Chain A
Amino acid sequence: MRYAAGVDVGSTQTKAVIVDEDQRIIARSLTDTGAYLVRAADRAFQSALDQAGLRRDEIGQVIGTGYGRFKVEFGDTQVTEIGCHAKGAWALIPATRTVIDIGGQDTKAIKVSDRGEVLDFAMNDKCAAGSGRFLTNSAEAVGLEVSEMGARSMDARQPVRLSTVCTIFVESDILSYLAQGKRVEDILAGVHSAIAARTVALVRRVGSESEITMTGGVSRNMGIVAALTEKLAMPVNVSPDSHFTGALGAAIFAMERVLAGPGAFAPEVLA
């Protein structure tokens, strides 16, 4: 059996996935990225290897993805996370035609072909308003962990209306709602609604074709998934492995290369 790996160095977290020839995930790992990208990539990869009980030399190809993809020093090549999320989402849920990924700094909507190829994509402009960092800052403002936000927001009764999706100004918006005695649940629902509205606008740009799959860590936030479902008026798929979609896509690209054999891909093909 041959193996390949993908390492997704994101701005917040680093993920690694190892797949076998049948594109089955045999190991997955997750670590905070921190300031040292090379070490984070190494840590995530090593942890996945340990889980799989494999040595480095047993992995045929490694592809790096995410903002820190060029820091996956042991990687053979790099693919952007746009390509990897498309591929990974398609692998997890083959009917996927539209992918939504809310990353730490980027929100993306990707139109995917029936072969997992990127047909079109739209991302937030230069400003990171309404991205994953917006959630982190909002969580801090109400004194919660990001992982707690989703469940808490489901108890909202009267969601507040935020005046901004600015990652910086949202804090003062939230503080003023807290000062008015608004419930944390209602504030969180307001946060999720704002981020969903911003995301839906991006989805509309590439066309919201069924089926829609949400990928990345933020997909674990059920409040956002609910807000997106409502605003899109369409179901939004979330795979249990959605957090690892980018790394999985990279691993599948790597496996394609392993199976194709040496020289089948120009080094530039997936620069």
Chain B
Amino acid sequence: MSAPTGIRYQGELHLLQKEIMAKYFAEATAIAQGNGRKAAHLLIAGNPVELLRAFDVLPIYPEVNVLQLAVRKGSLPFIQKAEELGYATDNCAYVKADIGLFHAGYKTPFATIPKPDILVCNYVGCNVYLNWFEHLAELTGAPAMNIDIPFIRTADGEPTADDVIYVVKQLEELIVLLENVTGRSLDWSAFTKIVERSARTGELWAEIKAMTQSRPAPYDAYFDSVTMMAPLYTLRGTEEGLRFFEVAHREMAERVKAGTGPLPEERFRIVIEGPPPWPRLRVFRDMFTRWGAVAVASTYSTVGGLWEFGFRHDPAHPLESIARHMLSYNVCNRTFLQRYEQMERYVDEWHADAVVIHSVKSCRLFSAGQGDMREHFVRDRDVPTLLIESDLEDPRYFSEAQLRNRIDAFFEALEQRRITAGRGAPVPA
């Protein structure tokens, strides 16, 4: 079976997502064209988007913009522009694409990105991102705030009471800054309503994520999760965002009931760690599809927030719950041992056969330690684990033959062992 799979992965939900994301980008473009509304640039990991929405400030995620460029095969010229300016080849390609995009007037095929009226750098462990937002502050002249999020240091992964107070105090400073930028004061009851919708969205999302415990999984928790992740970050806390997740929940529940999965046959259930290679997403997905491999869980879908293990925003304590979200409930700010634990739960509770780690060449911060992770799963947990490498944004790091070779060898070996173990996988017609 060497030919491409030819499978159409899109469903109803993809269409709705396209529609609401187009609307979101239209709003962004309208701001860029000077309609007077304010825009904030912020980062995905543990984003405090509820506060921005409370001030009617449109959240703009540079990471979302540049991954859109990569998916449309347009990231390289922007990366090269940044390299011309002196950014190193091994610098984070998201950063380079965004800096290149700034110098190209923020014009993309899908939107004109508004310049930030405020920069909210939520620092959760990536010091490169810290520099990124400092550069943006210098380039755009926008006021910038760095919310310093202490790394989790406790054994149980919970933030200390002092950690929470420390972050809440900074969020209060952010409120003052937002009041200055927008010229309005915080409407507390509107804010708590937003947090309430976030809580409800988190609830739905957590339930959607639990649905992939079914056999077959109703959707691919890596490749299809990304469809749901964009609205989760850009529209969380809004009516529209909540509606999207209600539709998603309904659609996925129906799929579970009908026993429908993303592929004609689910032959391997995998857990994927690491961001996807956006420039070659389709080709990459097909490499798994041809083996009938479906992701039942992924750590990447918890970068913006980790809801599946019980965290919810709390309208009764909105700032404290946002602080907890930023501190403990996103994969980036968790320790490596917690990342292991998260993945172990996925393997056990989501009934996975194997783990695949996609390491990102231009992100050493997130990728460092993945060799140890592979060894942990292979040696300590006896879970077959594959480590592969390319990049999330830079197409030059995607070596198709090399990746295909490793992925084929991995599933070949799994298949062979299944046959030897006498539980031969069913032969497809």
Contact = CB atoms under 8 A, between A and B. Distances in A.
Interface of A: 67, 70, 78-83, 105-106, 115, 117-123, 125-126, 205, 207, 266-271
Nearest to B415: A269
Interface residues of B, number: 36
A269 B291 CA distance: 9
Contacts of B375: 205
Nearest to B399: A126
**Main SS at interface, chain B:** helix
B412 A267 contact: no
Contacts of B2: 70, 78, 271
Interface in B334-381: 359, 361, 371, 374-375, 378-379
Interface in B63-101: none
A267 B1 contact: yes
A125 B359 CA distance: 10
A69 to B, nearest CB: 8
B405 interface: yes
A39 B371 CA distance: 39
Contact of A67 (B290, B292, B397, B401): B401
Interface in B373-428: 374-375, 378-379, 384, 387, 389-390, 397, 399, 401-402, 405-406, 408-413, 415-417, 419-420, 425, 427-428
A120 B382 CA distance: 10
A266 B425 contact: yes
A81 B401 CA distance: 12
Contacts of B428: 266, 268
Given A205-B375, A266-B427, A268-B290, A117 B416 contact: yes
The 8 closest A-B pairs by CB, nearest first: A82-B409, A118-B413, A80-B409, A266-B427, A271-B1, A80-B408, A126-B389, A83-B412
Given A70-B2, A123-B406, A126-B390, A80 B427 contact: no
Contacts of A118: 409, 412-413, 416
A230 to B, nearest CB: 24
A115 B422 CA distance: 14
Nearest to A116: B416
B246 to A, nearest CB: 38
Given A78-B2, A118-B412, A271-B411, 15 more contacts: A80-B408, A80-B412, A81-B409, A82-B406, A83-B416, A106-B402, A115-B420, A117-B417, A126-B361, A126-B389, A126-B399, A205-B375, A267-B1, A270-B412, A271-B2
A187 to B, nearest CB: 29
15 contacts: A80-B405, A81-B405, A82-B412, A82-B413, A83-B412, A106-B402, A118-B412, A120-B384, A125-B359, A126-B399, A126-B402, A205-B374, A205-B375, A268-B292, A271-B1
Contacts of B411: 271
B171 to A, nearest CB: 40
A226 B375 CA distance: 28
Given A70-B2, A271-B291, A83 B409 contact: yes
A117 B374 CA distance: 20
B287 to A, nearest CB: 10
Nearest to B413: A118
Tell which of B379, B399, B412 has the most Cβ of chain A within 10 Å: B412
